[in-house]
Amino acid sequence: MTEGTHHPDTTGLRPIVWVALALLLVVLGALGWLHIRARRAPEVTEGPAEESAAAPPPAVPPAQVNRWKEAARLVEEPREGAIGRAAHVHTPPQLRHYPDRRRFLAVQVATWMEKDYPIPHDDADLARMIDRGDFVPVPPVGDHYVLYGVGANATGEAFTHYDRASGVEIPLYGRYDLFTDAATETAAEIDERKAAAAEATAQAAKLPKTQARRRRALLAQARNEKREAAALASQRARAATWYEDPDKRRLLVAEWQSLDDLARRIGKRPYDLDEPKDRRAFRGLLLTYLRPPARDTLLELAAGYDEKFHRPLPVTSLVRTLAYQRQLGETNPNATRISIPPHTTGLAFDVYDHYMNGPEQDALMDMVAQLEKDGRVEALRENRDHIHMLAFPDGRRPPETLIAKALGIVRPGARVAASETAAGARGH
C-alpha cells in the first residue's frame, strides 16, 4: 500500500450488500407475481371493484360480484390499436354467409330436427327441462370466460304462460283468488287511466286557441291513456278466459308451482317469486344454461382464447325461451324470427368481440373456423360485434337431406340475423 493513500475497509459492508441484493430479488419476484395475478380474475377481491360497461347477471351471488367485475374489467381493458368493428380483420370463409343466406339457419334447424329436442316456450318450460337435467349450468364467471350481459333484459314482472298458437302471454298465479285479486287491481288501473284521459280531454277543451301546443299535448296524453286502458282491458279479458276454464287453470297453476318449486332448490339461495327482485334474479338464472355439447364447446373455446390473450372470453347469450326470443326480436336486429330460433335449442351461444383488437379477433375467428372445419359447429360473424355458434350434439353436421328439408322452414325473406355479417360468402 502506498504511504499517504487511504482505502476504506469494506469487509464489514459485504453482508449488508448481500442482504440488499436478496431483498431486491424478493421485491422483483413479488412484483412479477402481482403482475401475473392482475391478469387473472381472482376468487375474491377485497374492496369495491371498478364498474364495468355491463352489469353483473341478475343471479350473481354477492360473494362472486367482485370476481365478475374483475373479469369484466379484463374484457374491457384498453388494447393497442383499433378494436371491434374499427379493427382491420380477416373473416374466414367459415364465418361468412353461404350464397343462399337461408342455409345458415337451415343447418341449425336441421340439427334440432335430427334430435327433436323440446323447445322451451316460456320460463316454466325451461325450468322443467333444467330440473330434469336437459341443460347444465354455466356459472356467471369461470376460469376462462365471463357471462357478459346474459340476462340483462330479464325483468321482475310476473311469470307468464306463452301460448304459441295465439302469441299471447297469460300471467301465472298459484291460486285462483290471487288471479281475482290481480284482476280487481287491473280494473282499478283501467278506471284510473280512463279518468286521466277524460281529464286531459276536458282541460284541452278549456284552453284558448293561443295555447294550441298545450292543447295538442293534452290530447296526445288522453290518447295514450286510452290506449293503455284498452291494452289492460284486453289482457284482463284474455287472462279471465284462461282462468275461468278449469283445464287451462290447472295448467297455469301447475306451471307456477313448477317454477316456485325449482326457485326454492336451485342456485345459491332460495328465490321468493312473490318478490319482483327475486323474480328477476331467478329469470336471469334460467338464462345461464346450455345443453352439455354447447357448454363443452364454449369451455374449450374460452380456454384457447384465455391461454393466448390472458383474459376471459365474454359470452353474451346462452339458452332463450320462445317468449324471450320474441321480446328480443322487437329491439335486437341479431335476434332471429323463425319457428325454431337457434338459441331456443340450448345448443347456441354468442361471443362478444367489441373490445378485441384485430389480432385478438383474427385468432378467435381462426379458432372458431377450425371448429367448423372439424364439423363441430355452425358459426357466423354477425353485425353488432358478435360471433354466433351452434354446437352439433354428436360432433358432426346434420345430413344434407335434413338441411334441404329445413330450407323449406326458413322461408325466403324470413328474418335472419340482421343483414348480418362480414362481406362475402362461403362456398360450402
CA–CA dist 213, 219 (Å, integer): 10
The reply to whether 291 and 242 lie within a common domain is no
The reply to whether 154 and 186 lie within a common domain is no
The answer as to whether 385 is a domain residue is yes
The reply to whether 100 and 185 lie within a common domain is no
Which residue segment(s) compose the domain that 176 sits in? 168-272
Domain count, the chain: 2
Q: Give me the pLDDT at residue 89, please.
A: 96
The reply to whether 180 and 324 lie within a common domain is no
The reply to whether 296 and 148 lie within a common domain is yes
The reply to whether 250 and 145 lie within a common domain is no
The reply to whether 200 and 147 lie within a common domain is no
Q: Cα separations (Å) of 258 from 7, 143, 237?
A: 90, 32, 25
Q: Cα separations (Å) of 220 from 94, 143, 189, 206, 230?
A: 51, 53, 19, 16, 15
The answer as to whether 118 is a domain residue is yes
Query: CB 220: neighbour CB atoms within 10 A?
Result: 12
The answer as to whether 76 is a domain residue is no
CA–CA dist 133, 295 (Å, integer): 13
Q: Give me the pLDDT at residue 166, please.
A: 85
The answer as to whether 52 is a domain residue is no
Of 249, 272, 295, the residue at which a domain comes to its end is: 272
Q: Which three cell numbers stand for residue 294?
A: 354447447
- In 3D, which of 43, 36, 37, 46 has the Cα closest to residue 68? 43
CA–CA dist 378, 375 (Å, integer): 8
Stretches where the chain sits below pLDDT 50 are 1-13, 15, 17-19, 21, 26-27, 30, 32-49, 331-337, 413-423, 428
The answer as to whether 53 is a domain residue is no
Q: Give me the pLDDT at residue 191, please.
A: 97
Q: Rg of the chain over CA atoms, in angstroms?
A: 29
Q: Give me the pLDDT at residue 96, please.
A: 96
Q: Give me the pLDDT at residue 14, please.
A: 52
Under 8 Å CB-to-CB from 222, ≥6 apart: which residues? 196, 197, 198, 200, 201, 204
The answer as to whether 224 is a domain residue is yes
- In 3D, which of 319, 321, 264, 328 has the Cα closest to residue 289? 319
The reply to whether 154 and 290 lie within a common domain is yes
Q: Which three cell numbers stand for residue 397?
A: 353436421
Query: What backbone phi and psi angles, to 5 degrees, belong to 33?
Result: -65, -45
Of 220, 238, 272, the residue at which a domain comes to its end is: 272
- Asked if 151 and 288 count as a contact pair (C-beta separation under 8 A), the reply is yes
The answer as to whether 72 is a domain residue is no
Q: Give me the pLDDT at residue 10, please.
A: 38
The answer as to whether 152 is a domain residue is yes
Q: Which three cell numbers stand for residue 88?
A: 382491420
What CATH number does residue 378 fall under?
3.30.1380
Would the pTM of this model clear 0.85, i.e. be above it?
Answer: no
Q: Give me the pLDDT at residue 23, please.
A: 52
Q: Give me the pLDDT at residue 426, please.
A: 64
Inter-helix orientation angle 246-265/212-243, to 10°: 100
The reply to whether 215 and 247 lie within a common domain is yes
Q: Give me the pLDDT at residue 211, please.
A: 94
The reply to whether 300 and 263 lie within a common domain is no
Q: Give me the pLDDT at residue 226, please.
A: 97
The reply to whether 117 and 205 lie within a common domain is no
The reply to whether 152 and 300 lie within a common domain is yes
Q: Give me the pLDDT at residue 22, please.
A: 52
Of 211, 242, 272, the residue at which a domain comes to its end is: 272
